Structure 1
Amino acid sequence: MRRTTTLLLVLSVLAGERAVAVSIVLDYALDAHNENWFDPSTPDGRARRLAVNAAADLLSVIITNDDWAPLSNFRESITFTDIAAATIRDLDGGTLIGTPESDGRGYSYSSSTNDVDTTNRGSVDANEYVIYVGAFAFDSAATANAKAGWDSNDRRNAAGDEFNTWGGRVYFNTAYNWYAGQNPGANPVDSYGIQDPDKTPTADSSADNWEWSAADAAWKGFDLASVDPSAGSARDLYGTALHELMHALGATSTVIEDYVGVNLAGDFVGTALTAEHGGPVPGDGGHFAEDTQSVVWASEGVVSETLLDPNSRLGVRKHLTRLDAALLTDLGYQVEGAYPDGFLHGDYNDDGLVNAADYTVWRDAEAGSTTLANDPSFTEINLDDLLAWQDRYGHSAIALTVPVPSGALIALPPLAALIRRRRFDGNKACH
C-alpha cells in the first residue's frame, strides 16, 4: 500500500541519507529496578517494549528539529503520583520512600532527595529527548491507564521560541489488562484496514475494521478485535504510549496555554491547529475535547478520534492524527513526512525481507560503528534493533499490508541465547 510522504524524506532515504530528526531516547532503567514489566528476556516484556518503542520510533522519524543544543551539565529529577506501593526504586536502584497522598490511597515520589538528583545520566546530546519509562500498579483511586509529563531544565533553539526540555517520563498502570500486539501494525506503512466510505454512517459496520459510535457520532479508532479477538477486553499499549509520549513532549495544559494559545472558551487557537481544523479546536486542558475527529496521519482519508482525546475504549487503537501533529507543530516541533514507503524495521540489508541475513548485518554493525538501514533511530545500534528484527522475522515490504494473527509464533533462536552472544549495557538507552 502506497503512503504519501514528503519528497525530501523519500529522496534522502533512497540516497542513503537520513533526515535529521529529534531522537527520542527511551530509558527503561526505572522499570528494570521495579516491576521489570518491560523485561526483554520474556515474551510479554519484549512485546510491551516493542509496542512502546514503535510509538517512539514514529515520533522520532516525523519530528525533524535539528537545532537543539546539548545539555552538558544535565541534572534533573522526575516525579510519580498515584503509586500503590509505599516504596519504589529510583533510576540507580536506591530505595525511595513515598509521600502519602491526600486521598489516603497511594503515594507520590520524586527521584530527587535533598536536591541530590538521581537520574542515571549526566548530559543530553544535541537533538536528543530522553524519556524514562516505568510501570507500576496504581492505587485503587486511580483511573488512569498511564501517566506522563515533561520535566524542567528548558532548552531553547537559537530563536528561543520553541518549547524544548531535556525530556520527561511515561509510566503505565500494571493493574490493568494490556494488549501489546503489533497488528494491525503500529507503523503507517502497515495497513490501516478498511473503513466505511460513509464517514457519518448511521450504525457501525461489521464489514470494516474501525469502530463507529452512533451515540457520539464519532469514529473511536481501529477495532483491534477485528484482527485479534484477544484484544477486545484490553487497553491498547501502542496507542496509549503514543498518547502519553505526546504529553511527555509538552502537550500539557500549562504548556498549551503558553505556547499554543487558548481562548476564553477553552479552545486551542494555535496557527497550525486552526488551519487544519478550519477554526479553533475544542480543548479540555491538556487534551482535545472528547470525540474531536481528524484524519489519521499518513493515511488515505481514514477518520478517527484524535490521539490526544482524554478517553479511549477497550480493544480500540488510536493512531496519530493530523490534529495531533498540528499541536506538535504549534509547540515548536517540525513535523513532516512519515515512514517512507518500504520502511521495514528489521530489514537491515534493505532487500525488502526480514530474515537471517539481517541478523548478520545487525551483529556486525553492533560490533562496529556502521549504521543500519531501516533503523528509525538512525543512531545507536542496540538490543532493541535485535528485538525489532525478531518481532518482524519473516515479514516483507509487501506482506506488511496483511494483518497476521498476534498469536502466530516464528521459530527463531532463543532470544536469551542471542543476548549471551553479544554484550549489552542493561541501562543502555534504546530507540
Structure 2
Amino acid sequence: MHRITDSFHTTSGIPAIFSLKRALLISCLAIPSASAFEIELDYGYDSSSDNFFGTNAAAKSALEQAASDISSLISTRLAPVTNPFVGSNGGTTSTFDWDYVFRNPSELNDPSNPDANKITISSPSLAADTVKIFVGVRELGGSTLGQGSTAGVALSISGGGFPSQYEDAVAAAEAASNASMGRGDGPVIRNISGSTTLGSTTANYSLNVGVGVGSLWFDVDGDNDSVKDSPEELDDFWHFDHTTDVASGKRDFYSVALHEILHVIGVGTSDTWDSQISGTTWTGPNAQLANGGGDGLIDSAGGHIADNTNSVRLSDNGIQEVVMSPSLTTGTRKTLTELDVAFLQDLGYEIVPEPSSAGMLSLSAILLLLYRRT
C-alpha cells in the first residue's frame, strides 16, 4: 500500500513534500516573530492634563508605531517584577522593598521645588516581558523636541531576628530582588550597593535594577513663548503622520518617539551604557563591528551616538544618520539602523533575526530534516 505521507518527488533538486509533511512545513514557516518584548504606553497623566494624545490621533499613532517597531525587534525575555522581596534564615528575615520614581511627563520641572512633579510607584509590579512608559507633553523651550528617561528607584530595607543569621537572610533577599528587579536579561539600568546592619552584624548587598519603568514627553511650545501652542501652530511645527513623507521645515514626530523610547530602555541612560564608554570611544563589540571601530562614536556629553554618524536602514538598506544621534534635521525622518541595533545588542538585548536570513535558515533546516526522514 502506497502511503502519501512517505512519498515525494523532486523538482530542481528540492523535495516536494505532500500531505502531512507539507502541512508541517507550512505550519513551521507560519510561526510568528520570536519577539516577546512589550512596550506599554500609559496616557494617564496626559489624559488628566493636556489630553494631547486623546485629541491628536496622528501623534498617538506615530508614538505607538515607534513603540511597536522597537518591541518587535527585541526578543529579550524579562522577568516579572513583584515586591517586596523577603529573605529568611532560621528565625531571621530581611526585606527589600522598592519604589519606582519618575517625572510626571505632563508637568514642567519647578527649579524651586525639584520634587514637585515626581511620581512614586510604591512596591511596584510589572508583568513579564513588559516595559511601562508614561507619556505626555510639555513646553520645553529652546530646540529640544523631546525627552525620555528611565525611572529612578528608592529602596527600603528592614530586618529582624538573630544577628548571626542576618547575612544569609540578606543574601536570600538580594538574590530574589536581582532575579525580579534585575529583569533577568537586558541592560542594568542601575546597580545599588551598600550594607545593612542588625545588631552587631553588617551584611553587604549589590542590587541590579533592569529596564522597567520610564517616562517621556514631547515639546508643545515651538515658538518658545512658554505657552502651549494651538493645534494649528503644532501642525505647522510637527509632522505627525508617520505614514507620509515629512513636510519641508517640519519636525518628524515618529523619529523623536523612536529616539526617546530608546532612551527609556537604556540607550544613554543605563549603567551598562556607561560601562562601555571611554571618553568618546565606545568599547562594546557589536557597535564597533557595525561601525568599523569605536573611536569618536559617542558624543561629548556621553548620552548619544555622535552627530553625523551614518548607518544602513533596516527598512530598505538606505543610508541615514542613526536614530540615536542628538539632533534631527527638519523635513527628514529617521528609522532604525543597523548601528542602532548593534548598540542595543551591546546593552544586552537579544535581537529578532532578520526575517530573510532567519526564514531561509528555517526553511533549509526543515527541508533537510524532512528529506532525511523520507
Q: Higher strand share goes to which structure?
A: 2
Query: Post-superposition, which runs of at least 4 consecutive aligned residues in structure 1 deviate over 2 A?
Result: 10-18, 97-102, 107-112, 152-165, 253-259, 336-341
What CA distance in whole angstroms lies between the structure 2 residues aligned with 1:172 and 1:13? Answer: 42
Task: Give the CA deviation at 1:30.
Answer: 1.3
Say if 1:61 and 1:179 are closer, same or farther in 2 by CA, change over 3 A: same
What CA distance in whole angstroms lies between the structure 2 residues aligned with 1:312 and 1:12? Answer: 43
Alignment counterpart, residue 35 of structure 1, candidates 28, 42, 50 = 50
Aligned to 1:175: 221
What residue identity is the alignment partner of 1:267? T
Say if 1:182 and 1:338 are closer, same or farther in 2 by CA, change over 3 A: farther
Say if 1:101 and 1:275 are closer, same or farther in 2 by CA, change over 3 A: farther
Indicate whether 1:110 and 2:117 are aligned: yes
Indicate whether 1:78 and 2:102 are aligned: yes
Aligned to 2:30: 15
What CA distance in whole angstroms lies between the structure 1 residues aligned with 2:127 and 2:303? Answer: 28
Taking the TM superposition and a 5 Å limit, the aligned residue runs for 1:91-240 are 99-100=110-111, 109-112=116-119, 117=120, 122-138=124-140, 140=141, 142-153=142-153, 155-158=181-184, 163=189, 164-176=210-222, 177-184=237-244, 224-225=245-246, 231-240=247-256
Aligned to 1:307: 323
Aligned to 2:281: 267
The share of aligned pairs that are identical, in percent, is: 27
Say if 1:238 and 1:337 are closer, same or farther in 2 by CA, change over 3 A: farther
Asked if the contact 2:286/2:343 (under 8 Å) is kept, the reply is: yes
Aligned to 2:336: 320
Aligned to 1:297: 314
Aligned to 1:286: 303
What CA distance in whole angstroms lies between the structure 1 residues aligned with 2:303 and 2:51? Answer: 29
Listed one character per residue, the Cα deviations across residues 154-199 of structure 1 (whole Å, up to 9, x for unaligned) are: 8325479755221211100111321111224xxxxxxxxxxxxxxx
Task: Give the CA deviation at 1:34.
Answer: 1.2
Asked if the contact 2:258/2:323 (under 8 Å) is kept, the reply is: yes
What residue identity is the alignment partner of 1:137? E
Listed one character per residue, the Cα deviations across residues 15-48 of structure 1 (whole Å, up to 9, x for unaligned) are: 3544242111111111111111101xx4xx1111
Listed one character per residue, the Cα deviations across residues 261-285 of structure 1 (whole Å, up to 9, x for unaligned) are: 1124x11121111111111152111
What residue identity is the alignment partner of 2:61? L
Q: Higher helix share goes to which structure?
A: 2
Say if 1:136 and 1:98 are closer, same or farther in 2 by CA, change over 3 A: closer
Aligned to 2:9: none
Say if 1:101 and 1:255 are closer, same or farther in 2 by CA, change over 3 A: farther
What CA distance in whole angstroms lies between the structure 1 residues aligned with 2:104 and 2:186? Answer: 29
Gaps of 5+ in 1: 1-9, 89-96, 185-223, 226-230, 342-431
Say if 1:173 and 1:13 are closer, same or farther in 2 by CA, change over 3 A: farther
Asked if the contact 2:185/2:348 (under 8 Å) is kept, the reply is: no
Q: Name the SS for the 2:345 alignment partner.
A: helix
Asked if the contact 2:62/2:253 (under 8 Å) is kept, the reply is: yes
- Aligned CA RMSD, in angstroms, stands at 3.1
What CA distance in whole angstroms lies between the structure 2 residues aligned with 1:145 and 1:289? Answer: 18
Alignment counterpart, residue 259 of structure 2, candidates 243, 247, 265 = 243
Q: Name the SS for the 2:329 alignment partner.
A: coil
Task: Give the CA deviation at 1:101.
Answer: 5.7
Q: Name the SS for the 1:76 alignment partner.
A: strand
Task: Give the CA deviation at 1:289.
Answer: 1.0
What CA distance in whole angstroms lies between the structure 1 residues aligned with 2:26 and 2:320? Answer: 30
What residue identity is the alignment partner of 1:287? H
Taking the TM superposition and a 5 Å limit, the aligned residue runs for 1:379-418 are none
What CA distance in whole angstroms lies between the structure 2 residues aligned with 1:122 and 1:157? Answer: 13
Say if 1:174 and 1:108 are closer, same or farther in 2 by CA, change over 3 A: farther
Superposition TM-score, scaled by structure 1 size:
0.53
Q: How many residues align structurally?
A: 256
Task: Give the CA deviation at 1:233.
Answer: 2.2
Task: Give the CA deviation at 1:310.
Answer: 0.8
Q: Name the SS for the 1:30 alignment partner.
A: helix
What CA distance in whole angstroms lies between the structure 2 residues aligned with 1:316 and 1:72? Answer: 42
Task: Give the CA deviation at 1:122.
Answer: 4.4
**Structure ID, larger Rg:** 2
Superposition TM-score, scaled by structure 2 size:
0.61
Q: Name the SS for the 1:240 alignment partner.
A: helix
Say if 1:235 and 1:28 are closer, same or farther in 2 by CA, change over 3 A: same
Listed one character per residue, the Cα deviations across residues 204-252 of structure 1 (whole Å, up to 9, x for unaligned) are: xxxxxxxxxxxxxxxxxxxx35xxxxx2122100010001111111112
Aligned to 2:71: 60
What CA distance in whole angstroms lies between the structure 2 residues aligned with 1:54 and 1:65? Answer: 19
Asked if the contact 2:304/2:325 (under 8 Å) is kept, the reply is: yes
